[in-house]
Structure 1
Amino acid sequence: MAHSQPSSPEISPQDPRALRKALRGSATYFAKGFEEHKDQVQSDLQTTYKSPLVEQIRAQSYRYQQGEITIRLAKAFGFCWGVERAVEYAYEARRRFPDRQLWITNEIIHNPLVNQHLEAMGIRFVGKGPDGKKDFSQIQPQDVVLWPAFGASVSEMEFFRSQGNEIVDTTCPWVSRVWNQVDKHRAAQFTSVIHGKYNHEETLATSSFAQKYLVVLNLEEAEWVARYILEGGDAADFQQRFSKATSPGFDPDQDLERIGIANQTTMLEGETRAIAKLFETTMLRKYGPQQLDDHFMSFNTICNATQERQDAMFELIEDPLDVMVVIGGFNSSNTTHLQEIALEKGLPSFHIDGPDCIQPGNRIRHKPLHQDITVTEGWLPNGPVQIGITSGASTPDRVVEEVIRRIFALREPSELPF
């Protein structure tokens, strides 16, 4: 029997706060993993994703040289706590429900190796139908459903709760923290202005908690909105410009009178702060200091791990590097922003998703910023070369190790001494 997708009219929208409370009180909802399987899973993760080579390089001041190639690692990179927690919960769920069909409503994290491992364990990923929406028709009430680190939308939560599925929630607590802020916006009848990518899984989930929302991609878009708030403009032009990034029925002449700031946790930290400050100044100019609190709300929802990795990237590119390699899923937002930092410095930088991108003959398969995947010949300069390496929050150290080995093999095919 086919089941409705979460966008179906059969699903009655609930107050998000009440829905989350109902879920937490349910015996079929698990958000803390499964303690009885933690030791074995930790051993599995250590074997599968950790890297003795990377630990050695960390211990050597994040630097390793062999021949004419010197590797410089960022001081913070790779798996963050939230990602590690999500992967751990997925492995524990497989052990807790060995004979049940497990589904994940999206990639659990943006890393192809991790997602391949989960598929090999018999965990299935929800695909999309012809209309581009997630197709839940194959998920039966007796199946176990995992929500990924990015979270699930309110309609998805209600769908699986009403269907009676057991739910394993791996949502990153930093994402939940943003939802709590958006809950406050909703309760105060404020519009949530979200710094993020309107079609990213995390932003889709976050916006579903808002009564009214507007998603701005960057400071340029935020400045355009700020001018509209102060000077007015053509509402039809506004609605066309942000047609995919606003809540249904969004009216910029009414819905921008009271705004609260939220963000996708993997955006550039400095840009999120700049956007928040811009809108605070805008509302101050429009309504004055006495009425500011009636028209503007802001709260720091930047993920600590995202900020640490960006700070480490800024520090790394101050070194005299010849080239930068940024490792992470091609659809990983936080990895893309690490790439932006290198490019803004004017440093040749290559975003790759794994070791197979380092190809024989000094070729590299990579994704230039805002472009399609391509292959570049002769990417590694001749002679002595300093290579900076970092990785996104969804990239295991084992992947970083394999990339490093492939790079050294371009010059010296012999094995590394450790």
Structure 2
Amino acid sequence: YQEEVAETMRSAYQSSLIQKIRENNYVFQRGELTIKLAEAFGFCWGVERSVAMAYETREHFPQDKIWITNEIIHNPSVNQHIRDMNIGFIPVVDGNKDFSVVGSGEVVILPAFGASVWEMQLLNDKGCKIVDTTCPWVSKVWNTVERHKKKQFTSIIHGKYKHEETVATSSFAGKYLVVLNLEEAEYVCDYIFNGGDRSEFLAKFKNACSSGFDPDKDLQNVGIANQTTMLKTETEAIGKLLEKTMMKKYGPDKLNEHFHSFNTICDATQERQDAMLGLMEEKMDLMLVIGGFNSSNTTHLQEMAISKGIPSYHIDRPERILPGNRIEHKPLGGDLEVTENWLPEGEIIIGVTSGASTPDKIVEGAIENIFELKAAAVV
């Protein structure tokens, strides 16, 4: 079914306009509006592979009941396509997935983020046909934390403890601690070197550490890992901080006995963040970041724009661009809001990027809607 699926994917997700802009050195002008695209954006190889495998699964099992353990990727339009193929999403009841709906021997897709060890064991016990679309970069992180586990090292995971990928990664670890950012890592490193209030530490990380975690014992030997969609520069800074702290505490001759570091930063995440840095060096009036509101890698692209002081709008689909020069968008860390008169008058340059789960067709729709707004304003 590969050719049929490839044609369906092309029709559903690819864009002739976006290809044209790529071929025109990532710049497109119409009237008073110039669009500058980042040189790496949108669907990454791992996401495309995962989505294609879901389509292949429906082709291969046309009559079977098929389930997926989570959103295939963090993009609302792609997930709707999955639902339209009559693939069921495991329901969540009181914050927990209810796998009782899955019958013995039914087909179950594991999404790009992967699934926890517990979930895989449960599905295996039910005799399910498992289609594993986990991104190989995520699997690489799992291998890293398993190395930590074998050496009885605690995995310090740079990520969001509720994120599906981090939930899966931590399930492969022995002892683990999830740190959200450099600030939390600095707190941990201060505790490693100087000690501190054990109760305060455990309260701070109560949802972000392994069962029975003891900061006085479990931070003596640590290894670094990450959620693949986090900010590359921050993951690197956290790794260097931990290395420096362990070296200071135990001495450079003992460092390898107390600290392990493997590069688990995803190439696609790195490329998109590097391209965003390049785009932000260009002259522009504002930035449009397109991707799911629950997409970690998209949120970090928005964060980068804001850190440079560039007016930035995060939308998840073209329909957020409203008539009358209005836009419904999600500010960083905030709730959806509508901004009036967001497009300046006269000649303007807009930078555009999108997260790794965003199809080119969604980007095309957003750009076309902006051109329509600008044309209406001129009239």
Query: Is 1:72 aligned with 2:72?
Result: no
How far apart are the structure 1 equivalents of 2:207 and 2:230? 19
Distance 1:413 1:41, change over 3 A: farther
Counterpart of 1:307 in structure 2 is: 270
User: Per-residue CA shift, 1:269-319, capped at 9, x if unaligned?
Assistant: 011000000000000000001111111000000000000000000000111
Counterpart of 1:10 in structure 2 is: none
Query: Is 1:40 aligned with 2:4?
Result: yes
AA aligned opposite 1:266 = T
User: Per-residue CA shift, 1:152-207, capped at 9, x if unaligned?
Assistant: 00000100011100000000000000000001000000000000000000000000
Counterpart of 1:125 in structure 2 is: 89
Counterpart of 2:147 in structure 1 is: 184
Query: Is 1:106 aligned with 2:51?
Result: no
Counterpart of 2:17 in structure 1 is: 53
AA aligned opposite 2:261 = S
Q: Secondary structure at the match of 2:339?
A: strand
How far apart are the structure 2 equivalents of 1:306 and 1:147? 21
Tell which deviates more after alignment, 191-200 or 373-382. Answer: 373-382
Aligned length: 377
The structure 1 residue matched to 2:236, chosen from 262, 265, 273, is: 273
Output aligned runs, 1:223-372, within 5 Å: 223-372=186-335
> What TM-score, normalized to structure 1?
0.89
Output aligned runs, 1:387-406, within 5 Å: 387-406=350-369
Counterpart of 1:136 in structure 2 is: 99
Tell which deviates more after alignment, 195-204 or 368-377. Answer: 368-377
How far apart are the structure 2 equivalents of 1:403 and 1:249? 48
User: Is this contact kept in 1: 2:325–2:342, CA < 8 A?
Assistant: yes
AA aligned opposite 2:282 = D
User: Is this contact kept in 1: 2:105–2:126, CA < 8 A?
Assistant: no
% identical equivalent positions: 61
How far apart are the structure 2 equivalents of 1:363 and 1:212? 48
AA aligned opposite 2:23 = A
The structure 1 residue matched to 2:371, chosen from 408, 411, 414, is: 408
Output aligned runs, 1:154-173, within 5 Å: 154-173=117-136
Counterpart of 1:208 in structure 2 is: 171
RMSD over aligned CA atoms reads 0.9
Structure 1 unaligned residues grouped into runs of 5+: 1-36
How far apart are the structure 2 equivalents of 1:409 and 1:261? 48
User: Per-residue CA shift, 1:337-370, capped at 9, x if unaligned?
Assistant: 0001100000000010010110001111111001
Deviation at 1:45, TM superposition (A): 0.4
User: Per-residue CA shift, 1:83-106, capped at 9, x if unaligned?
Assistant: 000000000000000000111100
User: Is this contact kept in 1: 2:176–2:210, CA < 8 A?
Assistant: yes
Deviation at 1:333, TM superposition (A): 0.1
Q: Secondary structure at the match of 1:252?
A: coil
How far apart are the structure 1 equivalents of 2:340 and 2:213? 48
Q: Secondary structure at the match of 2:191?
A: helix
Deviation at 1:137, TM superposition (A): 1.4
AA aligned opposite 1:68 = E
AA aligned opposite 2:75 = N
How far apart are the structure 2 equivalents of 1:105 and 1:361? 40
The structure 2 residue matched to 1:62, chosen from 12, 15, 26, is: 26
How far apart are the structure 2 equivalents of 1:194 and 1:341? 21
Q: Secondary structure at the match of 1:211?
A: coil
User: Per-residue CA shift, 1:60-113, capped at 9, x if unaligned?
Assistant: 110011111100000000000000000000000000000001111000000011
How far apart are the structure 1 equivalents of 2:369 and 2:32? 15
AA aligned opposite 2:11 = T
Tell which deviates more after alignment, 405-414 or 65-74. Answer: 405-414
Q: Secondary structure at the match of 1:409?
A: helix
Q: Secondary structure at the match of 2:172?
A: coil
Deviation at 1:413, TM superposition (A): 5.4
User: Per-residue CA shift, 1:122-152, capped at 9, x if unaligned?
Assistant: 011112112x111111111131000000000
- List structure 1 runs of 4+ shifted beyond 3 angstroms: none
Counterpart of 2:46 in structure 1 is: 82
Query: Is 1:198 aligned with 2:161?
Result: yes
Counterpart of 2:184 in structure 1 is: 221
